[in-house]
Amino acid sequence: MFGFDRIANNLKTKLTSRRNLAALTLADAADFGATGAEVSQAARQRTDVLERVTRMSAVYGAEAALQTVRRHDLFGMTQTCDRCPHERKCARLLYGASKPCAKHVNFCPNAAEYVALRDAAHAS
């Protein structure tokens, strides 16, 4: 049942996000530093991309550092995640009962970014 609830919530979130983003004008997007193309791309992303990026950052020990990432860098990471060919494998590990370690998710195309975030946070 959990899978169906998650699918229903994702669909509801996607529809709400698309409706809200469609209502934005270019001036509204510019107010928070985005272009119309970025807003359009964000509207087309899978609904759980931000959650997967957040969960993956925790696996790499970079969850706190993720909160300090510049908007354009985070947008790049979410785009990479959205186009990842390993989505099913990733979801199985990230939403599973046990927390994976970094060696189990080394297929992640954002792995180097998470490691860099973690290392930068530890260096400061």
For residues 38 and 85, state if they share a domain. no
For residue range 14-54, list pLDDT tens digits in order.
778 777 766 767 777 677 677 777 777 777 788 789 899 99
Number of domains in the chain: 2
Could you tell me if 66 and 89 lie in one domain?
A: yes
User: pLDDT digits over 57-100, tens only?
Assistant: 999 999 999 999 988 888 899 999 999 999 999 999 998 888 89
Task: Provide the 3-class DSSP secondary structure of residue 87.
Answer: helix
Same domain for 20 and 59, yes or no, is no
**Which structural domain range is residue 37 located in?**
1-44
Same-domain check for residues 124 and 64: yes
CA 5 to chain centre: 20
Give the length of the chain: 124
CA-closest candidate to residue 120, choices 81, 67, 78, 50: 67
Q: Give the separation between CA 115 and CA 122, rounded to whole angstroms.
A: 11
Phi, psi of 107 (to 5 degrees): -75, -10
Same domain, 39 and 60: no
In the chain the first and final C-alpha atoms are separated, in Å, by 44
